[in-house]
Structures are given as C-alpha cells and as structure tokens.
Amino acid sequence: MQLQDYASAIRLKEKFKPTLSSPKHKNELVDELLTVFLQESDQAGLSEIPIPYTDKRNLLRGLLNVRKPQAIAAPYQEMLDSLLQAELQERSIIQAEELESVLAQFPDTPFLSAEKLILWQGDITCLDADAIVNAANKYMLGCFQPWHACIDNAIHSAAGPRLREDCNTIMSLQGADESTGEAKITRGYHLPSAYVLHTVGPIVREGSAVQELHRLQLASCYRSCLELANEVTEIRTVAFCAISTGVFGFPKPEAARIAVKTVDEWLVRNPKRFDKIIFNVFSAEDYLEYANVF
C-alpha cells in the first residue's frame, strides 16, 4: 500500500497540536488516568495500587501497552496529553543538527556520504530528528508486552496511544500483515520527532545461519524508509535504529555493514535530498560495531 492510500486517513500532513487539560501535577494526572484505564481493563479491583509515583507511572504504561487501539474519551485524552507533554519537556532533547558527522569522527572512512552520516549512542525517543525509524513486527501495532525493553515499546510508550490508533487505521486499510522490508509512516505525536517510519525487519531464528534473503530484506528496510521519507518534503533528517538486531536475531556486525552500505549508496544516488542520516545505537557494543564499519 502506497503513502497516498492512507496519508489522509491518519491526517499525516496535519501538525499535531494536543489539547491539554487544566494544569495538574503529574501525580494527580496519573492517579486519575489509572482509575480510568484500570476500569477499562476490568482491573478496577486491583488489590494494591502502588503508592510511589514511579511505580504508578509504570503501571499506567503497562496498561497502555496492552490496550487495544481505540479512541480515548476527550477529557482523559487531554489528561494523557498533558502528562506526555510534561514528560517530553523534562527529557534532555538532543538536536540532530548538532551531532558530529561520521566524517569528523572517522576521517579515513571510505563512505562517500560520510559528511551526512552520524553515529550516535542514546535514547531515540529523546532525539529531535524529523523522523525516527521504529523496528516493528508484521502486525505494525506496537508491542503489547507490558514494559518490554524493545524499541517498539519505547517509541509507542513515549508517543502515546494515538500512534497505535494510526497504525491500526493503516493496517485496516491494507487488510494484510506488513511485508518484511516494507515501511509505513505516521506522525510522532509526543515524541520530539514529527514522524515515525515503521519497518519490519527479517527474523533470523536462533541457531540458524543468515540467508541471502535475510540480507536483501534488511537492505530493503533501509531503502524503503528512505524512499518513504523522500515523499514527505518536511523530512530532512532521519534516525535509524539497528533494525532486526534485537529479538529478531540478525547478527550485529553484518547488520551494521548492510545498514551503512545501503544508506550510503542511496545518498550517493540522491545527494540533495537529506541533510543528516543518523545511525542510532543504544549499547556500547552496538556503537563499536558501527565504528568498525566506518
């Protein structure tokens, strides 16, 4: 399914402007929202609701993780928007334009687009790029496992439930699971980034060798995201996560080589389209894999 087939249904070109509730402390917002979502999930009789704020906030996140895509009543949506906006303001936001290029870090790198490439270790939900890439699964609805440590869960939790609703709208229009190597785009809602590119990477089963099909599919993820971002003129900076290297099992050294090579080749063919392409990694181990490639 092409962008024009779903863009209007999710109001992709409209800038997100949340309607906020009257000023309330975060603790009060979480208390009221827990009441609503516990009732909705038939857990209103939960014997023990945590007292510490962090524990209550984690419970709310877990309830939203498992919640099916559906609209939230306006007053409660405004409360949730207020909470997520307050959390956004508290984050240490990293400006993509201020990050050092690969060319500056690795002057002898052989990649022709090194001046536009960036290697950055950190939390992608704190990165102010025009678009970030989410490693999704074929259902494209986010991670339903409470508090799971995957990037899909992190991005949906920070963006808020509207992200899942948009993904559900897209998948309902498509009428089929997302193919490996393809991509879709939504707004970013409460993320610093305006857009999220969702792509499904190949799965390499534990104990199995990487097949040529896996390599082709992973390269397709990167190309599909760039081609899709290319259709949205406002996108000048894109941040990629390390697609398929988590629970999907793609070996990190080879995944890093494919990622960099594919992006570099695309930029050589389209030298004027993007200003910065960021390879975002979370761990020091992942950073070293990309550093070795560069």
Average of per-residue pLDDT across 269-284: 96
- Residue 49 pLDDT > 90: no
Contacts of 134 (CB under 8 A, 6+ apart): 151, 152, 155, 196, 197, 198, 199, 241
Whether 64 and 157 have beta carbons less than 8 Å apart is answered as yes
What's the pLDDT score for residue 252? 96
- DSSP H helical ranges for the chain: 26-40, 53-66, 74-90, 102-105, 151-159, 162-174, 212-230, 252-269, 284-293
Tens digit of each residue's pLDDT (9 = 90 or more) over 35-48: 999 998 876 555 56
User: What pTM value is reported for the model?
Assistant: 0.95
What's the pLDDT score for residue 43? 64
What's the pLDDT score for residue 50? 83
Average of per-residue pLDDT across 264-289: 97
Q: What is the CATH number of domain 94-293?
A: 3.40.220.10
> Residue 196's beta-bridge partner residues?
132, 186
What's the pLDDT score for residue 24? 82
236 token code pair: 């000048």
Q: 206: pLDDT confidence band, cut at 50, 70 and 90?
A: confident
What's the pLDDT score for residue 19? 85
Residue ranges of domains in the chain: 16-90, 94-293
